[in-house]
């Protein structure tokens, strides 16, 4: 009998490319809910790789807690400082209270008013990229989510470049010190902004969140600072990675680009495939508060559970030919925005930006070529391209 050897999900450099998809495929087929204890992790955790198991974990807000952290590698003291004060690391009733307030700027009514501005930003970025092709298209694409979210949040135009740079440092810097420092600077920025707005009331976005609304629900200034940082990050990094992944696939697969260019596939449909394919949020962590069963495994109270969105989005039980990029894929039930109570607040905005990008490409770009080696950031949490040598041809 052949002994199966589990591949190392935490091999250094694994996420610097796309080889981890083969590792996920092995686990889905052989050990879909596996016990992992990587170097430097004294406690270990359950690793969940199949789509339906991932969904069950995300939708279980009774026996699964987010308040003890939502990503691997988080320092306990850092999580403790924001637990039940920041939406992504909160459980009911605090999560329910904060979400009721924080979701308002992302309603369909509000975002419909932002659609024209999104189109303008995207058109400007694409026009610049066509006129002045550079060695790295990422430098242009990152302007789309940064400019849009900063404008929606009413942040001073002079701060946008700094904000984009600090957000990238907070998530992608190889230096832990630099990541911590960048996060601290972002928190201080919003703390100063909230305090100033209490005096002047000039920022409509912040004033709207601090006003008595939704049946009297409020958020404190401390909660507001933490969640403004979360909104900024959620509306910036992940969309940039999806735009980059989409562009790379269209450059590598001209047949897929032709389908979009001819109008055979609607941009909104292709947007969903871009989201499935890119997986900017690679994993999510939860902690069991009660005993429960995931697949064939009994999880004990206090044990951590990590769901791999990147694996769920390639599960052949749910997606036909999942390793093929198909802009016309129908019934695309990807989990890139999560599922259940913690589904991403900015999902509508992300879809708006990606769809606008595709519409603009269809009008202004004839073809695109890959003229170098793309590079990935190597993160197993917020994963994506950080170098994209693609040229857009008018």
- Taken in order of first residue, the domains within the chain and their CATH numbers are 14-393 (1.10.630.10)
Position 3 scores a pLDDT of 44
Position 134 scores a pLDDT of 83
Position 236 scores a pLDDT of 79
Position 4 scores a pLDDT of 62
Q: Which residues of 171-192 are buried (b: 16+ CB within 10 A; e: fewer)?
A: bbeeeeeeeeebbeebbebbbe
* pLDDT tens for each residue of 101-110: 888 888 888 8
* pLDDT tens for each residue of 261-278: 999 999 999 999 999 999
Strands 375-376 and 64-65: unpaired
Residue 132, Cβ density class (10 Å: 0-12 exposed, 13-18 middle, ≥19 buried): exposed
* pLDDT tens for each residue of 42-60: 889 999 999 999 999 999 9
* pLDDT tens for each residue of 208-235: 888 754 456 688 899 999 999 999 888 7
* pLDDT tens for each residue of 324-352: 999 999 999 999 999 988 889 889 999 99
| φ/ψ of residue 4, rounded to 5 | -80, 135
Identify the residue with better confidence: 149 or 78: 149
pLDDT tier, 298 (very low <50, low <70, confident <90, very high otherwise): very high
User: Distance between CA 48 and CA 156 in Å, rounded?
Assistant: 42
Lowest mean pLDDT among 68-82, 253-267, 316-330, 353-367: 68-82
pLDDT beyond 90 at 28? yes
In this structure, the number of other CB atoms found within 10 A of the CB of residue 270 comes to 27
- The mean predicted confidence, pLDDT, of the chain is 91
Report yes or no: 380 and 72 within 8 Å, Cβ to Cβ. Answer: yes
Report yes or no: 39 and 72 within 8 Å, Cβ to Cβ. Answer: no
Position 83 scores a pLDDT of 92
Position 252 scores a pLDDT of 97
Position 2 scores a pLDDT of 42
Alpha helices in the chain (DSSP H): 20-30, 51-59, 76-82, 94-102, 108-131, 138-141, 143-152, 160-172, 176-200, 204-210, 221-234, 237-252, 254-262, 267-278, 309-312, 347-364
The mean pLDDT of 157-164, rounded to a whole number, is 92
Identify the residue with better confidence: 174 or 187: 187
* pLDDT tens for each residue of 109-118: 888 888 999 9
Position 372 scores a pLDDT of 95
Position 215 scores a pLDDT of 54
* pLDDT tens for each residue of 119-142: 999 999 999 999 999 899 999 999
Position 225 scores a pLDDT of 92
Look up residue 137 and give its two tokens.
């298209």
């Amino acid at each position: 009998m052949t002994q199966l050897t589990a591949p190392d999900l935490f091999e250094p450099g694994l996420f610097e490319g796309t080889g981890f998809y083969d590792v996920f495929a092995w686990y889905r087929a052989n050990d879909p809910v596996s016990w992992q204890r990587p170097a430097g992790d004294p406690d270990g955790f359950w690793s969940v790789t199949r789509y339906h198991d991932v969904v069950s974990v995300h939708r279980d807000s009774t026996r699964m807690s987010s308040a003890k952290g939502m990503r691997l590698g988080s320092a306990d003291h850092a999580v403790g400082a924001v637990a039940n004060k920041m939406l992504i690391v909160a459980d009911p009733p605090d999560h329910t209270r904060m979400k009721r307030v924080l979701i308002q700027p992302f309603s369909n009514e509000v975002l419909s008013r932002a659609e024209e501005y999104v189109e303008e930003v995207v058109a400007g970025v694409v026009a610049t990229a066509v006129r002045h092709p550079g060695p790295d298209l990422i430098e242009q694409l990152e302007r789309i989510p940064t400019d849009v979210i900063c404008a929606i949040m009413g942040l001073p135009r002079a701060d946008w470049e700094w904000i984009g740079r600090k957000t990238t440092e907070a998530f992608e810097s190889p230096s832990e010190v630099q990541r911590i420092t960048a996060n601290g600077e972002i928190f201080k920025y919003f703390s100063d902004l909230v305090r100033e707005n209490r005096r002047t009331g000039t920022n409509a976005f912040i004033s709207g969140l601090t006003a008595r609304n939704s049946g009297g629900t409020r958020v404190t200034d401390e909660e507001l600072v933490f969640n403004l940082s979360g909104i900024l990050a959620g509306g910036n990094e992940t969309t940039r990675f999806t735009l980059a992944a989409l562009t790379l696939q269209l450059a590598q697969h001209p047949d897929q680009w032709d389908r979009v260019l001819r109008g055979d596939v609607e941009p909104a449909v292709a947007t969903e495939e871009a989201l499935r394919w890119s997986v900017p949020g690679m994993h999510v962590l939860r902690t069991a508060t009660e005993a429960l069963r995931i697949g064939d495994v009994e999880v004990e109270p206090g044990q951590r559970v990590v769901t791999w969105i990147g694996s769920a989005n390639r599960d052949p039980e749910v997606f036909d030919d999942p390793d093929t990029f198909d802009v016309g894929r129908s019934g695309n039930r990807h989990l890139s925005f999560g599922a259940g109570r913690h589904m991403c607040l900015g999902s509508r905005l992300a879809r708006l930006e990606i769809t606008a990008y595709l519409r603009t490409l269809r009008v202004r770009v004839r073809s695109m070529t890959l003229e170098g080696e793309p590079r990935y950031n190597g993160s197993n949490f917020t994963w994506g391209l950080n170098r994209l040598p693609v040229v857009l041809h008018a």
